[in-house]
Chains A and B, each alone.
Chain A
Amino acid sequence: MHIAFLIKKKPNEKILFVLKRHVITFLPGLFFFVLLLLIPVAVYFLLLNVSPNIFNGDSIYPGLVLLGSIYYLGVSLFLFSNFIDFYLDIWIITDDRIVDIEQHGLFSRSTSEIELHRIQDVTDSVKGLFQTIFKYGNVIVKTASDTNDIVFRNVPFPGKIRGELIKLARQDRRTHLVSGNNKKEEA
């Protein structure tokens, strides 16, 4: 994956973590897909029981086949779009900033970023049975601005990520302090 291309990496910037949603969060979509695949089969047997000759009609049969084909193509497109939506939610942590790229459906994508030294608070939350068993959850990164929070949704090991972010924010603040002092001295 060309992460550097995706975030327009600055010179000397190092990419430390690339986070994605936990794979388990895609499974409900997959189960729903399997369920959708089975619906026409159930409808077929139901129709066969209700009216055994329904598929013998010269005009009904091709209509139903085409309808079935449209249905299955639509379902496959639904799953593919769901996967793209899932896969293209990415959070990138570099030694300078956090970049949050979120795909919302097929026609909408948002990208936001915050610099590490602006981080004021990092919270992680693991809620419910699945999140506890599979060790994933949310990490909420807050800055002084009310509007610029970033939420890493359903990422694996949120506790570890919180720890790393706090460490990185502290380091970045120190770097900014030192470079600020150097500039003052030069002036």
Chain B
Amino acid sequence: MITIPLYALLFVYLAFLVGFVVLFLLNIYHIVSTGTFSFWPLAFTFITFVFISLVLYLTWFLLQDINWQAPFLQFGSNFFNFE
């Protein structure tokens, strides 16, 4: 029997976070490279940053008691037996 543990989901989440950080930094790079250090881009960056921090904190808060070793999917000999 093959068991995929719950923490496998965290790897998928981590992969998404890497892509997310790259794209977020690319946006920051556009602001820096064009020298647009005025109020609105900085304020917008700050608000986005606060929102992202809030989402990450809530994610951690909601998932702090999860047992990540628990099985997420189990493939047994009868996995494809729908009867």
Contacts and interface: CB of A to CB of B under 8 A. Distances in A.
A73 B37 contact: no
A1 interface: yes
Interface in B25-65: 26-27, 30-31, 34-38, 40-41, 44-45, 48, 51-52, 55-56, 58-59, 62-63
A108 to B, nearest CB: 11
Contacts of A106: 23, 26-27, 30
A88 B55 contact: no
A110 interface: no
The residue among A58, A62, A87 with the most chain B CB atoms within 10 A of its own CB is: A62
A76 B63 contact: no
Interface residues of B, number: 39
Contacts of A72: 51, 55
A122 B73 CA distance: 65
A79 B6 CA distance: 31
Interface residues of A, number: 29
A83 B68 CA distance: 37
A123 interface: no
A5 B27 CA distance: 19
Interface of A: 1-2, 5-6, 58-59, 61-63, 65-66, 68-70, 72-74, 76-77, 79-81, 83-84, 87-88, 101, 103, 106
